[in-house]
Every structure is written in structure tokens, then in C-alpha cells.
Amino acid sequence: MTAPLPKRIIKETERLQTEPVPGISAQPHDDNARYFDVMVQGPDGSCYEGGVFSLELFLPDDYPMTPPRIRFLTRIYHPNIDRLGRICLDVLKNNWSPALQIRTILLSIQALLGAPNPEDPLNEAVAKQWKENQGEAIKTAREWTKLYAQPKQ
Amino acid sequence: MKFGQEYQRVLATQDFPEQWRESAIEYKHLKKCIKKIHQELQSLGLDADTLRQMSEWVGESQAEQNDSKGYYSAATPSLASVPEEFTPQLRVLVDKRTGMPLDATLAPDTKSALQKLAKHEMMSAGRRDYLGASTPSNHAVRKSSVVGDTMEGTIMEAEDARWVQVPLASAKDFFDLLEPKLQDLEILRTAETEKLEEDILDLGDAVENVVQPVREGYEATRKLSYRDLYFWREMFRLYTENPIFYSGTESRRGALTFNEAKSRLQAYDAQLREIGLLEKMKTPQAKRAAQQFLDLNVNILRIMHFQEMNARAMTKILKKFDKRTHLEGQLFLKNLRTKYPALLTNSGKQSQMQSAGGFANSIARDLSAEIATKVLAIVPQPEDWDCPVCYSMAWRPVSLGCCRSVFCIRCIIKLQDEGMKRCPVCNQESVMKADGRNIDFEAMDFLQKYFPMETKKRQKENEKAALVRDYGEGFVKSGCAMQ
């Protein structure tokens, strides 16, 4: 890619570094400034509490006219996140607006961890369990968090 | 003690006005006071051990019965009604008839001393009752179960036990000495804040005068004012980038400590010197206003320093009071906070973050806000006019009419080309209706005046983007003959 980085991406990246959102970090790759390594902490009080989840985020050429592409790399038990880590979130699809940004999207994802929505499932099996036996589902989510989402020492 | 010395030294060496110094907390004197209380308690036979024992005991009984106020404590006036005067009192549970303290573990001498005091109090309370003046009766009688459970071998009927509050003369002196000082400090805070706010308004006027943007028909003076405008902008940009007194970022919000603020102000000053901004300013008025701006910051720092030292003195002396007397002086602090809301501006995260204490906190917060609205706002920064889509200056500015956002014309055209109907900010379907009439001429005028360099640059970018859109990328490649 030879096209210069748009001013918007430069500014967003800068602000993510100088004023990071608590519990969230996004680091661009040295060789591709449109590709970010993301880390999101599970929200306190949720079944993902204590977990540190890594995600990958990519800004397509026509960003911000199209939303960033983003998926979980860490395995997670959640009705709106499938086995490939893809996320079902309105602002990443139909409700994207160019006035949204990396920062706000990551906050939305963190909020999604705090409020799983089994009525609009991406992962049918998990959503089913969530609806039929919520206690068990939450327990599994906690176990998975312990199993896969522990911060690297 | 180390703090006492530091406190004295700061008060002596800093050039605080005489009037401030008179309002300062008398740390040394208060320390002596504590000594006296200590002696008085000891003369009652209430040494640290006994008091601690009593307070541990209080802990137990509180666990058993929630509404129990404990067997002794400094008076705890309910916080809903802030008393005019705070009088520390020793509260003792005594036999109703004999006035004998019910704590079996007390030494006989102490018991009789307390009994004497209690009897005296009961008598005067009785008189008050007789006169019809009601004494607080809510803790006059306690349930016997507590008494029986917590005291070995003393079985008492409920009606026989009663609480008596014994005032401590020397402890009262302590608070009599401390309380007016806080009043003084609060008055000083209000007065100084008002004075500085006036300074800020003056400064605002001065800055407004020297930062006149280019106006039509004043071409001759154009160069002069327009250069100064950019210097001021730079000066204020650096100032907001690294706020000196109050930080408002997500990870850290609140007033900075004096030391932090001081080093930030020094760094700011050094930055200005390095760029030589002050020297570059053209008119003497501009230079004077710049100096005024820096002086103002120094003055804010000074009152912060003074108030912070006093806040520290207060916290330390109350801690010492608690430690030495085992009366609950912290309750006094709670009362103060209700009385002086300006004291309580720290959020609960105080322990995690270093932050200015006492009145210094609200001074920093209030004056930072004043400077931002009355002075910094006079010189608009380009970021204030960023298009929410491309983050560059919204030139030419387009208002969609659905909300107050201003976009640049290129981004709106792009949105229309992509068929994105909704306003990026407010989500209403306003994009497709936009045309030439949506250009915001008022904003355009403003931008041209305040950002002559930026608008020119954006104009060129726009023209190029328009060519790319109509004729393709190759048309504007560098080296093309058409350029």
C-alpha cells in the first residue's frame, strides 16, 4: 500500500496512545498502520471479569466510510461471538457511522461483554444454553475466561 | 516532627501575603493542645490502653447491635444536622442511679472519676429536663441485652443503664482553635477565587484586543494581527495539551498536586522560551497580555500551594488527635465536609491518585474552567472545527440542518456517492437532501478570518479531490502536464 495514511487514522492512533481508554489498548503494527493488535479487559461484574481478550482490528481502504473489521483471537463463550471470533454488533454492520471511531467501537465491544444478548445470536448453541440455563452458561463463560483469557505473565 | 517543620518553613519562606498567613492553621499550637488532652485523659485514668480496650469493646457491641453507638465515643452529632459547634465528648454507659460506669474492666480510680463527672452531668441534664429543654434522649437508655452480653458479671436492667456524655474541656479547646481557621480558609478561598476570576476576565479582554482576526477593509494591518493570532494559538494549544492545574482525561481526572502543577508550569514556561513565542509577538499590548497570562498562572499556583499546605496540616493534626486521644476526630472532618462542600471535591478514588487536597482542589478546578471559557476560548483552535468524518478542518463547512455538526463538503459528497443517507452524528436521514444551500456561510466567514492559512490549504486539497472524483486518480498524479 503506497497511499499515504489519511489524517484521520493518524489522529485516531495518536489519541489511542496518548489518552488510552481504561481497560482497552490498541497497538498498530509497525509494517501496516491499518492493522491493530487490540486488548480488551472483561468488564468488572461480568462473567468475563479478570479476563484479558485479544482481538485483531483492520481498517479497510474506505474507512471511515466502512466500519473497521474486527474479531476476537481469544476464545470466548458468548452468544454474540462465534467460534471464529466474529462479532455480532449493530455498529459494526448496519448501524456503522463514519463519526464512530476505533475507540468507540472497542468500548461497544467491551459493553457487549457486560451485556450478552442471546435474542440476537451469532453462536446458536451458546445462545440456546444462555436462554435455557443461564446459570450454567455464565458458569461456562467464567471457566472459559479462566482457561483462555488469562493475562500473559 | 518533620511535617511541622516543613509547614513552618513553607509558611515562612514563601511570599504569601500577611493576610493569608493569619488564616493559616496553627499546627504547633494544636499539637500542644493534643498533649493537653492526652494529659487530661490520663488524669482520668484513661490511658491509651484503657481507651483502646474500650473501643475494641465498642466494636464488639456494634457487631451485635447495629444501632448501638458504642460505649464511649466522641459525640457523633448526626450528619444531617450540622451543629454550630462541635464539642468532643466522652460517652459513658453508667448506672442510672449511682452514675457508676458499667465497664467492669475499668480501674476503680478511673471509675470513680468518671462517676463523678457523670453524676454532675446527670444532675445538670435533670435540671434541663425539668426546665423543659429536651436533651438528646435517643441514646439515653440502651437495651439490657447488650449490657448483659458484653459485660461479665454485671446484670443490669435496661432502665438502670443510661448514657452520659462527659465533655472534655481541653479537647474542646482543640476544636475551638481549629474550626475558626477553616472558616478563615474558606473565606480566603472565596475571596481569592473571586479576585482571580476578575483577573481572568481582564485577561480575556486583553487577549481579545490583541487577537483581532483579519477583517475586511483592514488589509493594511493584516500581516501584523494575523501573525500574532497564530502565536497566541500556539501558546494556548500548548497550554491545553498539558493542563497545569486540572486534568480531565479518562484515565486521570482531578486537580493536580501543587508539586505537579508547579513542574508543569515550569515546563510550559520553558517550552514558550524555547520557541521564543513571547519575543515573536509584534505589539507591546500582545506582549503585556502574554505576561499577564503567565502571572495569572503563577498566582493560582501560589494560592493552591497555601491551601494545600493547610489541608495537609489539618489531615495530619486530626490523625495525630485520633492517635493520641482515641477520640474520634475524623468525625469532625466529616462534619466539616458537610459544612464546606468545597472541601469535598475529590472522588472516592483519592487513595489511588495523587490529587490536590482541601480547598486547593476546588480552586484548581474552578479557575481552570474559568480560564478555558473566558480566555482560551477567545482563540479558536483548528481542532474545534474538525469535520467528524475526516478529522481535518471542515472546509467548506456544510451543515445538514439535522444537528449542529459541521462537516466538510468533500465528506458529504462522499457520503452521497456511497449512498449513506444518515447523518454520521445524529443518524437522521439528512445526507441526500444536502446541496449548495447547505453550505454554512457564517461558519465559512469565521473560518476564513481565524484560520486563513488552514482554509487556503484545505481549499487546494478540496480542488484536487474534486478532480480525482470527476476524472480519476491519474489526472492529478504529480508530473502530469495539467498541474
Say which CATH number the domain at B429 has.
3.30.40.10
Q: Is residue B58 part of a domain?
A: no
Specify if B348 maps to a domain.
yes
* B197 inside domain: yes
Domain match, B427 and B464 both:
yes
Kindly report the backbone phi and psi dihedral angles of residue A24, in degrees, each rounded to the nearest multiple of 5, phi listed first: -140, 140
Q: Among B184, B229, B195, which Cα is nearest to B210's?
A: B229
User: Which residue shows C-alpha cell 490529587?
Assistant: B355
Among B327, B361, B378, residue at a domain's last position: B378
Residue spans of chain B under pLDDT 50: 56-84, 128-158, 219-220, 222, 345-353, 483
Nearest Cα neighbor of A82 from A91, A68, A71 is: A71
What residues contact B91, with CB distance under 8 A and at least 6 apart? Answer: B69, B70, B71, B72, B73, B75, B139, B163, B164, B165, B166
> Which of B390, B407, B410, B423 should we substitute to test contact with A (largest number of A Cβ atoms within 10 Å)?
B390
Query: Which CATH number is correct for A7-148, 3.30.9.10, 3.10.110.10, 3.40.190.10, 3.40.50.150?
Result: 3.10.110.10
- Distance (Å, rounded) from C-alpha B170 to C-alpha B175? 9
DSSP state of B388: T
Is there a contact between B425 and A97 if contact means CB atoms under 8 Å apart?
A: yes
Where do the DSSP E strands lie in chain A?
A: 24-28, 35-41, 52-58, 69-72
CA of B393: how far to CAs of B289, B425, B454, B459, B464, in Å? 28, 16, 8, 10, 16
Is the N-terminal amide bond of B396 cis, ω within 30° of 0? yes
The three-class DSSP label of residue B226 is helix
| Buried-exposed string B434-453: b where 16+ CB fall within 10 A, e elsewhere | beeebebeebbeebbbbbbe
User: Where along chain A do its domains lie?
Assistant: 7-148
- Across the interface, of B391, B415, B418, the residue whose CB is closest to A7 is B391
Predicted confidence at residue B181, as pLDDT, reads 85
pLDDT in tens, B207-233: 888 777 655 555 445 455 567 788 889
Helix (H) or strand (E) holding A113: helix A102-114
CA dist., res. B400 & res. B412, Å (int): 9
> Is A118 in a helix, a strand, or coil?
coil
Residues B110 and B41 sit within 8 Å (Cβ to Cβ): no
How many domains are contained in chain B? Answer: 3
Q: Is residue B333 domain-shared with residue B461, that is, in the same domain?
A: no
Q: Which residue among A40, A47, A81, A88 is the active-site one?
A: A88
Number of Cβ pairs closer than 8 Å across A and B?
41
State the burial class of residue B98 (Cβ atoms within 10 Å of its Cβ: 0-12, 13-18, 19+).
exposed
In the structure grid, which three cell numbers stand for residue B151, read together? 459485660
B378, B405, B433: which is the final residue of a domain? B378
CA distance B9 to chain A (A): 38
pLDDT attached to residue B154? 35
Q: What are phi and psi of B426, to 5 degrees?
A: -110, 0
Domain assignment present for B421: yes
**Distance (Å) from the C-alpha of residue A132 to the closest C-alpha of chain B?**
36
Q: Which residue numbers of A have CB closer than 8 Å to B's CBs?
A: 6-8, 11-12, 19-22, 62, 64-65, 97-100
B310-B312-B315-B318 Cα dihedral, nearest 10 degrees: -60
Nearest CA-CA partner of B142 in B165, B159, B121: B159
Say whether both B339 and B448 belong to one domain. no
- In a shared domain, residues B324 and B464: no
| Option in A22, A62, A98 nearest B251 (CB) | A22
DSSP state of B398: E
Evaluate whether residue B2 is within a structural domain: no
Domain membership flag for residue B18 = no
Spatial distance between the Cα atoms of B303 and B307, rounded to a whole number of angstroms: 6
Last residue within a domain, chosen from B167, B185, B211: B167
User: Based on the domain organization, do B245 and B158 belong to the same domain?
Assistant: no
Does B217 share its domain with B318? yes
* Cβ-based contacts of A6 with chain B (< 8 Å): 390
Domain match, B305 and B334 both: yes
In a domain, B72, yes or no: no
Of the candidates A128, A143, A145, the one whose C-alpha atom is nearest the C-alpha of residue A49 is A145
Enumerate the residues of chain B whose CB falls inside 8 A of the CB of residue A62. 418
Is this complex's ipTM strictly greater than 0.90?
Answer: no
- A88: annotated active-site residue: yes
Rg for chain A (alpha carbons), in Å? 16
* Mean pLDDT, rounded, for A9-16: 95
Q: Tell me the C-alpha to C-alpha distance, in Å, between residue B75 and each of A128, B40, B136, B394.
A: 59, 17, 11, 63
Would you state the pLDDT for residue B218?
52
How is the beta sheet containing A52-58 ordered, strand by strand?
A: A24-28, A35-41, A52-58, A69-72
| DSSP 8-state assignment for residue B233 | H
Both B237 and B315 in one domain: the answer is yes
In the prediction, which pLDDT does B65 show?
34
Put residue B276 in one of left, alpha, beta given phi > 0 → left and psi -120 to 50 → alpha. Answer: left
Interface test with B, best of A5, A7, A105 (most B CBs within 10 A): A7
Q: What angle do CA B281, B284, B289 make, to 5 degrees?
A: 80
Extract the C-alpha cell encoding B435.
446541496
Q: A22 contacts in B (CB within 8 Å)?
A: 250-251
Q: Are residues B414 and B367 in the same domain?
A: no
- Structural domain span for residue B192: 174-378
Is residue B226 one of the residues assigned to a domain?
Answer: yes
- Cβ distance B390 to A8 less than 8 Å, yes or no, reads yes
Instruction: Output b/e per residue, A74-105; b: 16+ Cβ within 10 A.
Output: bebbbbbbbeebbbbbeebeeebbbbbbbbeb
Contact B251 A20 (CB under 8 A): yes
pLDDT tens by residue, A55-113: 999 999 999 999 999 999 999 999 999 999 999 999 999 899 999 999 999 999 999 99
